[in-house]
Structure 1
Amino acid sequence: MSSELDRTRPVWRQVAAAITTRIADGDYPVGARVPSVVELSAEFGIAASTAQKVLSHLKAEGLVRAEVGLGSFVAERPAEPSGETKG
């Protein structure tokens, strides 16, 4: 995908969107490890600092959670409220 990045737009946002799509599509299911900074850098041809920004953004959005020394993993989605009836 590195050749597909539009260098006129923020690259980190494009990479974050790609990872978000993979999560939504189930390529990375809940609990699955997402690519590390090094892996993102290699796959997308981006700097390590850019890859770190991607992971920080995904964490801030609640899409991934970080485990110290293990990596980043797809976070569980908040459950829909159950047992509540409208009316």
Structure 2
Amino acid sequence: MMDKSIGFNTYIQSHFEKWGLTKTESEVGLLILRGLSLKEISKQRGTTETTVRQQALSLYKKAAVDGRHQLAAYFLEDLLPPCEAAFSVEKKEA
């Protein structure tokens, strides 16, 4: 669970460190979390799309996720209310 006393960026960086990401993998990870495509990341970083793809795959492996959606969901999970709470609000509104 995310400690609310630290910023979200710090929270993300702490996980990147825990996973043993390189500086480059961390930078690519942040850009992926911002929603940039691999092509956009390669242009921004001045590298080939193939290089960025390899860095992203390495990041996913270290984080034990299957791709960008699971990576985003990993961090989004702590920002969302528990499923039970979300569903009870929906029932009250219906």
TM-score scaled by structure 2?
0.40
> Between Structure 1 and Structure 2, whose CA radius of gyration is higher?
2
Greater fraction strand: 1
TM-score scaled by structure 1?
0.43
Point out which structure has higher relative CO (alpha carbons under 8 A, 6+ apart). 1
